Structure 1
Amino acid sequence: MTIQLPSEIVVERFLPTIRSMLAAELADRGFSQREIATRLGVSQAAVSQYLSGEQGGEERFVDDARTRATVERIADGFDAGTMDDYEALAELLELVWAFEDRGPICAIHEEEMPALAGMGCDLCVRGRDRAVQAERETLSNVRHAVRRLSNAPKVAAHVPNVGTNVAMALPEAEDETDVAAVPGRIHAMRGGLNVPSNPEFGASHHVATTLLAAADADPTVRGAVNLATSDHLLAAVPEGMEVVAFDAGYEDRRTRLDDRFADGVPRVAYHEGAFGIEPITYVFGTSAVDAVDRAIDLVDHAES
């Protein structure tokens, strides 16, 4: 992978496409190739290539209605004498800015630089934003954690019927929208795990609630994963690792968790279920990956 600036995409793909489209529009309005070349700041030979179709341009720009509208507006302005070069430049810059913000330029940039995937060009448009960086790192951590969990062969047997989830909170998280997890939860299927989609913020309720209580009590705790409570799993908790039980009821659960974590956050917290509530064990870590690694260790010991 190479580092590529969005300006390179503008110069190498956007600008030739715009020039080709403008050349065609101006030719349709009776402009000569020399006049078109003067307007576009290119050679007459380049205009000839544009008009012959030798440089068709990037389809994502050509097919975008905003591109067509801008090109037609500029061509009409040049033809009527109501738009000068400065105004045409302003029109094109507005189009570039729109395309860099979750538009075609952004899409092409993400293809050229996979490290930008999912960022919506926030880096390019808004600069280095620490909050955005934290969100990106959190989502990346959850994705890695989910892959580790999916590749652990013994985990499926310990997934609750309601599904499991892997979650990680942002620093100083305040509510569920600050916690990244897998929408729809992860379910056991044919001896493996089915992960329905990539992690998103606000995708979890129960795991997020438990994690937020832990993070409030101890800010170093930012990751959690839930498994089905069983005697084998609890017996696999290493000696010296604190385990805390709590009531399974949903009513006032956050308040009760705050009370249980007041003297410190354990690495494992569980409940034994209730009417309509499946027994669940939560494993905490400093990150989603850390929590999943701890959970896999527990499962391996429980199965050995």
Structure 2
Amino acid sequence: MSLVLPSELVVDRFLPTVRAMLATRLADRELTQQEIATHLGVTQAAVSKYVGGEATGDDRFRADPDTVATVELIADGLADGSMDGYDALAELLSLIRRLEDRGPICELHEAEMPALEGLGCDLCVRGIDTDVQAERDVLADVRKAARTLAATADFDAYVPNVGTNVGTALPDAADVTDVAAIPGRIYVVGGRVEVPANPEFGASRNVSTAVLAASTVDPTVRGAVNVATDDSLLEAARQLGCEPLEFDPDYEDRAAHLCERFDDEGRVPRVIYHRGAFGIEPITYVFGTTALEAVDFVRALVRTAST
């Protein structure tokens, strides 16, 4: 990803365009090219190019009503003497701040750095958006967790027929749209564990339900992985000091049932499981503070079960 500062776009794209616009407006008000050059801090040769239409510029600014209005205001003020260089600079700085706030400068910044697109980026005017940063952190955690799981030796034996998924919830998550997971789940293809897509919020109802139930009882638990229920993994959990908790899969409101089971235990166990029911494959959930932490424990379970 290229690293481009908004200030670079101001210097390279905004300033030349506004200088050209101001030069033509001041020429229309019958200022000489030398007077215009003095006001703009450029050479007379540059003014000649501006006025002659030779200078390049960015049409986003030329067509922006706020930019046009500010240029007209400054041109009037410089022409009639009611505005000096300090006043003109103040108007331009105020305009730049407005254009950075979801305006043409912001649009150009997203075009130069596509990774910013769709993030509601307000870095230029309000600093780091903590909500956006939290979402980025959660997505990064799930992405790393999924790749780590796929690279785990012998894990393919524990992927259920319905597929595996990993999920991490945002702090204070309220529903499934606040939990990131892998769309389409993680499957075994030709003996290889495949991650089909990058994580998205709201991508897995089952893992999200388990995570939300766990975080309701213990807010520090925000990550989970689902695997096939296997006695060797359950025994491995016991060997690692974790007693798995069994729950009934055949509940209409699984979230409420899990919360009730966790409340009965007075905690959220690291591992919970069910033995399946009619049309329901046996599944085990492993919890952690994040999906990556849950995956690390799954790796430990697999290693222990394999020895």
Q: Which residue of the other structure, out of 290, 300, 303, is the alignment partner of 1:287? A: 290
Specify the SS of the correspondent of 1:237: helix
Q: Could you tell me how far 1:291 is from its partner in structure 2?
A: 0.4
Shift of 1:159: 2.1
The CA distance in 2 between the partners of 1:128 and 1:33, in whole Å, is 44
Post-superposition Cα deviations, 1:143-164, rounded to whole Å, max 9, x if no partner, equal: 2222212322432332223222
Q: Distance in 2 between matches of 1:117 and 1:72?
A: 23
1:278 is the counterpart of 2:281? yes
Report what 1:18 is aligned to.
17
Q: Quick check: 1:182 aligned with 2:182?
A: yes
> Which of 297, 300, 304 is equivalent to 1:301?
304
1:228·1:280 contact (CA, 8 Å) conserved in 2?
yes
**Who is 1:269 aligned against?**
272
Separation in 2 of the partners of 1:182 and 1:233?
23
- AA in 2 matched with 1:195: P
Q: Is the 8 A contact 1:218 1:265 kept in 2?
A: yes
1:244-267 residue CA offsets vs partner (Å, 9 max, x unmatched) = 111222511111101111122111
Q: Deviations over 1:34-64 (max 9, x none)?
A: 576467543334446778999756xxxx475
Listed as ranges, the gaps of 5+ residues in structure 2 are none
Give the match for residue 241 of structure 1.
242
Query: Does residue 1:228 correspond to 2:232, yes or no?
Result: no
Question: Is residue 227–residue 283 contact of structure 2 (8 Å, CA) maintained in 1?
Answer: yes
CA contact (8 A) 2:247 2:274 kept: yes
Alignment of 1:213-224 (within 5 A): 213-224=213-224
> Residues 68, 126 of structure 1: CA spacing in aligned structure 2 closer, same or farther, 3 A cutoff?
same
| Structure 2: distance between partners of 1:12 and 1:224 | 47
Cα distance change of structure 1 residues 18 and 285 upon mapping to structure 2, 3 Å threshold: same
Residues in 1 aligned to 2:119 and 2:150: alpha-carbon distance in whole angstroms: 25
Amino acid at match of 1:268: V
The answer to whether 1:97 aligns with 2:101 is: yes
TM-score under structure 1 normalisation?
0.75
Between 1:263-272 and 1:18-27, the stretch displaced more is 18-27
Deviation, structure 1 residue 104: 2.0
Q: What residue number does 2:254 align with? A: 253
Q: How much has 1:277 moved relative to structure 2?
A: 2.2
2:145 corresponds to which residue? 145
> Could you say what secondary structure the match of 1:203 adopts?
coil
Quote the residue 1:210 is aligned against. Answer: 210
Task: Decide whether aligned partners of structure 1 residues 275 and 103 sit closer, same or farther in structure 2, where only a CA change above 3 A counts.
Answer: farther
Change (3 A) 1:248 1:53: farther
Residues in 2 aligned to 1:147 and 1:272: alpha-carbon distance in whole angstroms: 27
Would you say the 8 A contact 1:176–1:208 is kept in 2?
A: yes
Are the aligned partners of 1:217 and 1:265 in contact in 2 as well (CA < 8 Å)? yes
For 2:271, give the aligned amino acid. V
Change (3 A) 1:55 1:140: farther
Which amino acid counterpart does residue 261 of structure 1 have in structure 2? Answer: F
Distance 2:51 2:150 in 1: 54
Asked if structure 2 preserves the Cα contact closer than 8 Å seen for 1:25 and 1:72, the reply is no
Q: Which amino acid aligns with 1:274?
A: A
Check 1:155–1:53 CA distance in 2 against 1; reply closer, same or farther (3 A cut).
farther
1:246 partner amino acid: F
Counterparts in 2 of 1:54 and 1:13: CA distance versus 1, 3 Å: same
% identical equivalent positions: 47
1:142 is displaced (CA, Å) by 2.0
- Give the distance between the partners of 2:123 and 2:70, measured in 1 at CA: 33
How far residue 290 of structure 1 moved from its aligned partner, in angstroms, is: 0.6
